[in-house]
Amino acid sequence: MSENTTHTPETPEPVDTPAAPEMPEVQAEVAAQPTVIEIDPNEVEKGKVLAILSYIFILWLIPIIQKDNEYSLFHAKQALMIFLASIALGLLNVIPCIGQIAYVIGSVGLFVFWVIGLINAIKGQAKLLPVIGKFAEQWFSGLKKNG
């Protein structure tokens, strides 16, 4: 008998049970990516105010232009991703019915992401936002602290 074989009282013969499917490489890579970025505590303290301000309208531009603090730049990239996603949702809104439903649902989701990002900035944490945070790190990977 193989290790994936079971014997039940109703069936006199052993029944093969399928083995659990293996996780594809892409899913394994995504699962392995960290959701918390390690940043020096001094950087966190120095950049906390700008990190918090990054979530207010387009003030994420300040850390992106200055590029002098890793923590505020991290949150600026996350806030920029929320901003770009809101523009995409606005464009989706022009599609009658389905686009408008997607706009409402997406807007609620983005508001939740905004609150999560703001709370993380206040707490001094560099956590990726759910769903869109990893894209911010990939798309804006060229935005790094000067020096």
Could you report the per-residue pLDDT of 65-89, keeping only the tens digit for each? 888 888 989 899 999 999 999 999 9
Residue 29 has φ and ψ, to the nearest 5°, of -65, -40
Q: What is the pLDDT of residues 5-37, one digit of tens each?
A: 555 556 556 555 555 555 455 444 444 455 888
pLDDT over 60 at 1, yes or no: no
Q: Show the domain range for 128.
A: 35-139
Cα separation, 147 vs 143, whole angstroms: 12
Res. 110: pLDDT tops 60:
yes
Q: What is the pTM of this model?
A: 0.70
Residues 6+ apart with CB under 8 A from 68: 145, 146, 147
Domain count, the chain: 1
Q: Is residue 18 part of a domain?
A: no
Q: What is the DSSP letter of 19?
A: P
> Domain for residue 11, yes or no?
no
Q: Is 38 left (phi over 0), alpha (psi -120 to 50) or beta?
A: beta
Residue 77 maps to a domain: yes
Residue 86 lies in a domain: yes
In a domain, 14, yes or no: no
Is 117 domain-assigned?
yes
